[in-house]
Amino acid sequence: MDIKAETAARTEQVNAVIAAYLPREEGRQKTVISAMNYSVLAGGKRLRPMLMQETYRMFGGRSKVIEPFMAAIEMIHTYSLVHDDLPAMDDDEYRRGKKTTHARYGEAMGILAGDGLLNLAFETAAKAFDIEPGNANIGKALQILAGKAGIYGMLGGQCVDVESEGQAVTKETLLFIYRLKTGALLEAAMVIGALLAGATKSEQKQVELAAGELGLAFQIQDDILDMTSTTETLGKPVGSDEKNGKTTYPALFGIEASAREVERLSKSSVERLDALVVKNEFLGQLMASLAYRES
């Protein structure tokens, strides 16, 4: 399997799903809608909706009920990036090779665009009830999405991340930040995919553990790239962690040790999926390839 070609093809499919749920740029609130759409359509790997869709397919899912959740999780991910780039946070002017939302539309509209995307995400996910009105798992999926995005998930991780800037951070605190800030949404993506396809609770737990390890590997690799890559390759400023006084895994343990940890976590994550009865060759290869990504 040509993983790059397959990923590119699936990315286009995911982009079409997301675009179908974006609001039309009209009305008196057109500016904020334009800023929201600009943020989502600026590009990206579409990793979370792709992981969700492929996990859904792995467990035999065939309905379009997964699609509102695919769009919703990308909206949540994008809103977090929009707010992360704000002057009060990382103060970055470029994301995915383009001007960040606040750099193009102004700080106030950047805040509102992030707020709008978070609200739109749940409005969009709730449209799954229109597709399968009697599916009780949709309500459970909404709970997972909200929980993993909130104070006990991504938002909680960001809180500790902000409070830790400029301070000495232990490995325990750093991994807490990574598990919540990065891992939680990956867990949401894969568990929701498994849940809506009818996976058992034990299968959902195995998927959650695999996604958690993938999240740690992904974030450590992101930290490595921030230290070793270029702005042209990443599409965003490098060295931002050091600029913002953030402790990272490679800062604590070095780049070589960090690379070995990425490989270990990635391998363990894929092995957890391989232990399941159901299979998805592309999903396994996609997860493994993230350990060696360059952007």
SS3 273: helix
Which range has the worst mean pLDDT, 74-88, 132-146, 243-257? 243-257
The span from the CA of 191 to the CA of 185, in Å, is 10
10 Å CB burial of residue 89 (0-12, 13-18, 19+) is middle
- Total of domains in the chain: 1
Q: What does the pLDDT look like over 70-100, one tens digit per residue?
A: 999 999 999 999 999 999 999 999 988 899 9
Task: For residue 114, name the pLDDT band (cuts at 50, 70, 90).
Answer: very high
Assess whether pLDDT exceeds 80 at residue 237.
no
- Tokens at residue 256, please? 């070589």
**Mean pLDDT, to the nearest integer, of 190-213?**
98
Mean pLDDT across the chain: 94
Give the gyration radius of the chain's Cα atoms: 18
How far apart, in Å, do the first and last CA atoms of the chain sit?
Answer: 21
Task: For residue 105, name the pLDDT band (cuts at 50, 70, 90).
Answer: very high
Q: What is the CATH number of the domain that holds 188?
A: 1.10.600.10
Domain that holds residue 163: 3-292
